[in-house]
């Protein structure tokens, strides 16, 4: 079975072109190269394909970095898509903006909100909930992060969860973010407190699932723990770019920017909660990190990056409405999903934030 969030279930490409215009190295399959060359797809004014230093064949680019097959001036479609159909496009393009996790519970499909269409879906007034993914979202031969037939996520260093227990934690955390009586910050506080308590489980204490659900019940009314601007800055500064990518360092920014971003995001509380739910669902940090607190720290870091990007836009445009919110989300996911080294984050995040979980 494949699952997604209800707010993403009806995603369909609207040809915004954001992915096509981004300066990305898009690997292509040998059969696609043959198809393009045989049928003469695309303009011959620039090389249709390039070879990287490592020998990988990638899509050629226009002078500004856009894909050489992107028709910016016409219908904003891919020439390969037009000539041979969506299934003929490179795998990376065919999957975008899908972010897929396969584990022994099933297949989970989230979306990158760098895609403008996906970003606007966060403004859905509904709370994010898990639903069965429709066929339009579940592509044939769906590729993603492969966690089938591996050990389940860690509860904490040295102690594994089981899939029932981990599934209960994820469901309870999503349900907390979905609560209409909580702000997103309060929800994060409850998730943090419940997760800290859950780490106290021992095999002789009974079923992990029961222990986790009790932990969330015990913390359901926990008071708000403010996310201090200084600590949020340190969270964002933990992020490191993947090889071949770069993004502005957050370490030199004035920590007051995070307070500005927090204020700017206040009118969009439900959308921010949905954004955090989207980063919790289908989360690969569960398998790359050092326990459930790694996922909690990832959520707080996602919020820290969103706050900083919101502050940038609020300062630049002197206003912060729905369009600015969507742009802040897009820039945040450009960093978090497409540029940051999540494996490195999983190894170091909790230990880097001194005292965050004391």
Q: Residues 131, 196: one domain? A: no
Give the 3-state secondary structure of residue 106. Answer: strand
For the chain, the residue count is 358
User: Per the structure, how many domains does the chain have?
Assistant: 3
Question: Looking at the structure, do residues 213 and 326 belong to the same domain, yes or no?
Answer: yes
Q: Domain containing 74: what range?
A: 27-89
101 with 158, same domain?
no
Q: Does residue 125 fall inside a structural domain?
A: yes
**b/e burial code for range 223-245 (CB count within 10 A of at least 16 → b):** eeeebebebbbbbbbbbeeeeee
Question: Which tokens hold the place of 302?
Answer: 């996602």
* Neighbour-count burial of 8, counting CB atoms closer than 10 A to its CB (0-12 exposed, 13-18 middle, 19+ buried): buried
- Do 180 and 322 reside in the same domain of the chain? yes
CA dihedral of 327, 328, 330, 334, whole degrees rounded to 10: 140
pLDDT of residue 346: 80
The answer to the question of residue 273 being in a domain is: yes
Are residues 77 and 116 located together in one domain of the fold?
A: no
What is the residue-level pLDDT of the chain in tens, covering all 358 positions? 899 999 999 999 988 889 999 988 899 999 999 999 989 988 877 888 988 877 889 999 999 889 999 988 777 889 999 999 888 999 999 999 999 999 999 999 999 999 999 999 999 999 999 999 999 998 878 899 999 999 999 999 999 999 999 999 999 999 999 999 999 999 999 999 999 999 999 999 999 999 999 999 999 877 776 788 888 888 888 888 887 788 877 887 888 999 999 999 999 999 999 999 999 999 999 999 889 999 999 999 999 999 999 999 999 999 999 999 999 999 999 999 999 998 888 877 766 554 555 4
Same domain, 215 and 236: yes
Is 310 a domain residue?
Answer: yes
Does the residue 315 lie in any domain?
A: yes
Name the token pair of 96.
Answer: 């975008």
Residues 214 and 323 placed together within one structural domain of the fold: yes
Residues 6+ apart with CB under 8 A from 202: none
Q: Which two tokens stand for residue 117?
A: 């269409």
Q: For the chain, how long is the longest CA-to-CA vector?
A: 69
Residue 231, in any domain of the structure: yes
Could you tell me which residues are beta bridge partners of residue 109? 4, 100
161 and 139 in a common domain: no
Task: Answer for the pair 133, 177: CB distance below 8 angstroms, yes or no.
Answer: no
Is residue 21 situated within a structural domain? no
Q: Does residue 260 share a domain with residue 311?
A: yes
- Same-domain pairing of 62 and 80: yes
Say if residue 162 is in the same domain as residue 294. yes
What is the spatial distance between Cα 191 and Cα 299, in angstroms, rounded to a whole number?
10
Domain final position from 89, 106, 122: 89
Question: 351 in helix, strand or coil?
Answer: helix
Q: Which of 23, 114, 97 is nearest to 67 (CA)?
A: 23
Neighbouring C-beta atoms of residue 123, cutoff 10 Å: 15
133, 36: one domain: no
The answer to whether position 200 is within a domain reads: yes
CB 306 within 8 A of CB 276: no
> Which of 46, 74, 89 finishes a domain?
89
- Rounded to whole angstroms, the Cα distance separating 136 from 175 reads 25
> Is residue 130 domain-resident?
yes
Task: Say if strands 98-103 and 154-156 run parallel, antiparallel, or are unpaired.
Answer: unpaired
User: If DSSP codes are grouped into helix, strand and coil, which group holds residue 146?
Assistant: strand
How far apart (Å, rounded) are the C-alpha atoms in residues 82 and 66? 17
Laid out side by side, the sheet with 130-132 consists of 130-132, 2-5, 106-111, 98-103, 145-147
The residue from 110, 145, 180 where one domain ends is 145
């Amino acid at each position: 079975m494949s699952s997604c969030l209800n707010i993403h279930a009806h995603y369909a490409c609207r040809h915004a072109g954001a992915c096509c215009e981004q300066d990305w190295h898009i690997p292509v399959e040998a059969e696609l190269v043959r198809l393009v060359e045989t049928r003469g797809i695309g303009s011959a004014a620039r090389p249709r394909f390039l070879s990287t230093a490592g020998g990988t064949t990638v899509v050629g680019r226009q002078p500004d970095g856009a894909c050489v097959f992107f028709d910016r001036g016409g219908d904003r479609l891919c020439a390969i898509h037009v000539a041979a159909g969506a299934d003929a496009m490179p795998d990376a393009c065919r999957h975008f903006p899908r972010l897929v996790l396969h584990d022994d519970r099933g297949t989970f499909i989230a979306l990158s909100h760098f895609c403008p269409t996906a970003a606007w879906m966060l403004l859905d007034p509904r709370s994010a909930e898990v639903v069965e993914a429709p066929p339009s979202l579940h592509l044939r031969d769906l590729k993603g992060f492969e966690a089938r037939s591996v050990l389940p996520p860690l509860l904490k260093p040295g102690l594994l969860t089981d899939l029932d227990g981990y599934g209960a934690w994820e469901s309870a955390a999503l349900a907390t973010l979905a609560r209409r009586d909580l702000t997103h910050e309060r929800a994060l506080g409850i998730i943090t407190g419940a997760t800290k308590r859950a780490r106290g489980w021992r095999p002789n204490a009974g079923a992990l699932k029961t222990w986790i659900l009790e932990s969330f019940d015990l913390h359901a009314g926990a008071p708000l723990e403010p996310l201090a601007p200084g600590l949020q800055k340190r969270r964002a500064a933990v992020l490191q770019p993947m090889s071949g990518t770069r993004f502005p360092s957050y370490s030199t920014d004035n920590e007051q920017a995070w307070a500005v971003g927090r204020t700017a995001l206040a009118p969009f509380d439900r959308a921010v909660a949905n954004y955090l739910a989207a980063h919790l669902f289908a989360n690969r940090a569960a398998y790359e990190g050092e326990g459930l607190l790694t996922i909690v720290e990832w959520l707080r870091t996602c919020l820290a990056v969103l706050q900083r990007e919101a502050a940038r836009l609020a300062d630049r445009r002197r206003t912060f409405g729905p369009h600015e919110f969507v742009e802040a989300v897009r820039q945040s996911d450009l960093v978090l999903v497409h540029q940051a080294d999540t494996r490195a984050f999983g190894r170091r995040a909790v230990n880097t934030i001194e005292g965050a979980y004391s």
